[in-house]
Structure 1
Amino acid sequence: MENWQICEAECLQYLKKNFSDSRYDFEAEGGSDSTKSDILLTKSGIAIFYIESKMKQAQCGQFVAFPNTDTNSFEYSKGNAYSENIQTSFILDKMAEDFDKYKNPDTDGIELLIDKRCFYSWICEFYKSKGVKYFIIEKEVGSKNLSQNNFIIFPIEHFHKYFDVTALYRRKKSGSSNPTEHDYTEIKKAAASEGFAIKDIYKSGKYVFVKMNAEPITYKIIGEMHTYQYKPETNGIFKVTKLSNTSNPNVIFSISLIQDQQERDLEKFRLEFN
């Protein structure tokens, strides 16, 4: 599991342990689907609000924007999952004021030297649009420490008190997807090109798995049309993911924890269960 997956699982476990009862419960929702938030609070089976889990240093939202050399401006991509808002327009306008600096981003990225209040506003509006009311932060991920001092909970409106935020404009692969049956032939050929004979290929839920004789490490193999990731599970089973071949320029927000738990914020969360 990736660290963010461990963080989400341990945050869910912490919430269930400390706040679940006969009426209130928590469900994992987001996973790798960036259009959904991580954890849903329900009351008697009815959705109440979402809680976003984060590590103490993490990415925290992004959007694709393309440079337009004809107008010396930046255009919000129609492929973004969310509509452009006031904060987005402000950021792109500020970037356009120094167009030559930002017009050719690479994978390392160019830091946006813009008032951070705009970044905070963008992040809050982004997560509010997904129904998020609180954040939960795990300070030491994977330590199996479910004590209160390893977690921080606060309402979204206090996000700026807990995190420093920076933003980069950089090129980034546009994501991954689960293969379909139409990809099976290419998946087999790609593996064979590296000397791996696939004994079985099948779908379980929404995921595709293969059984092959290979060392239990993650492989990224370029096929005829796509690049595939083969990630080890157990006993020669690998989960296959189709990786994007597109590298789009993204505005990417990153956060770093600067504040420990404030009791008034934790108390506000507790009051949700009265």
Structure 2
Amino acid sequence: MTWQEFEIYCLNYLNKVFGDYFSSRGGSDSTHSDIEYSGDRINFAIECKLPHAQSGQFVLIPDEDYKVFDFSKNNKTSRSLDGTEDIIAYMNDHFDEFSSPGTKGIELQIDSSVYERWIKAMYRQKNVKYIMTSINRNICDENIIIFPLEQIGDYFEISCKYRVKKSGSRSINKKKYKDACKILKQRGIKFTEVNGYQICMENKLMNSIYIGEEGKYKFNLNTCEPDFTYIIRILSNTFNANIIFSLKIKDGVTQDSNVLETFRNLILTD
């Protein structure tokens, strides 16, 4: 199951179990979290994470002259996030080790509490209060667990790596949307254009299509609601070295019944 499919699964699960109070928010936009609850008195976000998943990143650029790492001005996260300066200081102290990480990357050897602080601070800025995940890769209702953001370290092993990776996707404009639709039609793929640079099809399509016109764009088709609806985004051709945080579900974690009851009461008493 892809992360996009897992987000949809979590949204359907919440509305089925707790009532039709939740809506999709994030998708490919990393500045927003995945699912939003908006009630009469409160609103908060829920982040969906597969048992093994990435959980945030930021770009550090090596300065060979001064032997330090610079925080990229293009980062979507702030340098003021808790833990960022600790990571930069560690990287500067080990500059030669990390200056050429490659696509395989190099693990940072800092206490994982630093990574946990950064992840919590990043998600707090998105108004995230809860995390949803599965106890293993067998995604089913019985394996879904919900817990507060502040307990993320109790459920996940958190690691951090510095590696080169391709940048994510960006929003498409009207012209590029028409270009993508034109290529799909030339390939005989049947679809309906939908507002918001989306398309809807009767059958599931591949995750991405390659467009060879006007600069060789690669368009990514990200799943969204309802089923067989895709939003078209442009994949970046930029490669940067990123600090990347990763999560791995801990063995033996289960759904805490008290946490679940607190979550239920939060929704039903709003």
Q: Which range, TM-score by smaller chain?
A: 0.7 to 0.9
Task: Say whether residues 1:63 and 2:51 are aligned partners.
Answer: no
1:138 matches 2:134: yes
Q: Would the aligned equivalents of 1:210 and 1:240 in 2 still touch at CA under 8 Å?
A: no
2:18 equivalent to 1:3: no
Does structure 2 retain, via aligned residues, the 8 Å contact 1:201–1:210? yes
Q: What is the one-letter code of the residue matched to 1:243?
A: L
Counterpart in 1 of 2:95?
99
Uncovered stretches (5+) of structure 2, i.e. residues with no partner? 224-228
In 1, Cα distance between the equivalents of 2:52 and 2:102? 22
Could you tell which deviates more after superposition, 76-85 or 92-101?
A: 76-85
User: Which stretch shifts more, 12-21 or 124-133?
Assistant: 12-21
Query: Does structure 1 residue 264 correspond to structure 2 residue 258?
Result: yes
Contact 1:188 1:197 in 2 (8 A): no
1:29-44 aligned within 5 A:
29-44=25-40
Measured after TM superposition, the shift of residue 168 of structure 1 is: 1.0
Alignment partners' CA distance in 1, 2:117 and 2:135: 24
Q: CA, structure 1 residues 70+203, in 2 after alignment: closer, same or farther (shift >3 Å)?
A: farther
Q: CA deviation at 1:173?
A: 1.4
Pairs within 5 Å for 1:148-187? 149-183=142-176
Structure exhibiting the larger radius of gyration computed from Cα positions: 1
State the Cα deviation string for residues 59-106 of structure 1 (Å, max 9, x = none).
111111111112211111111122112411110110111100101121
Aligned with 2:49: secondary structure? strand
TM-score relative to the length of structure 2: 0.81
Shift of 1:27: 1.0
More strand by share: 1
Q: In the aligned structure 2, how far is the partner of 1:188 from the partner of 1:17?
A: 34
Q: Deviations over 1:27-50 (max 9, x none)?
A: 111111110011111214x65111
Instruction: Answer whether contact 1:62 1:251 (CA < 8 A) is retained.
Output: yes
Distance 2:15 2:191 in 1: 36
Q: TM-score, normalised by structure 1?
A: 0.80
Code of the aligned partner of 1:264: N
Judging changes above 3 Å, is the alpha-carbon distance between structure 1 residues 151 and 202 closer, same or farther for their aligned structure 2 residues? closer
Per the alignment, do residues 48 and 188 of structure 1 end up closer, same or farther by CA in structure 2, a change over 3 Å counting?
closer
Q: 1:231 to 1:118 in 2, by over 3 A?
A: closer
- 1:230 CA drift (Å): 6.6
Report the alpha carbon displacement of residue 198 of structure 1 after superposing the two structures with TM: 7.8
* Alpha-carbon offset, residue 165 of structure 1: 0.9
- Report how many aligned residue pairs link the two structures: 255
Q: Distance in 2 between matches of 1:3 and 1:201?
A: 22
2:215 aligns with 225
Do the aligned partners of 1:49 and 1:132 also contact (CA within 8 Å) in 2? yes
- Structure 1's 231 and 5: CA in aligned 2 closer, same or farther, altered over 3 A? closer
Listed as ranges, the gaps of 5+ residues in structure 1 are none
Change (3 A) 1:10 1:238: closer
Could you say what the CA RMSD is over the residues aligned between the two structures, in angstroms? 3.2
% same residue: 36
* Alpha-carbon contact 2:177-2:232 (below 8 Å) kept: no
2:67 alignment counterpart: 72
| 2:258 match: secondary structure | helix
| CA contact 1:56–1:257 (8 Å) conserved in 2 | yes
Deviation, structure 1 residue 127: 0.4
CA positional deviation for 1:197: 6.2
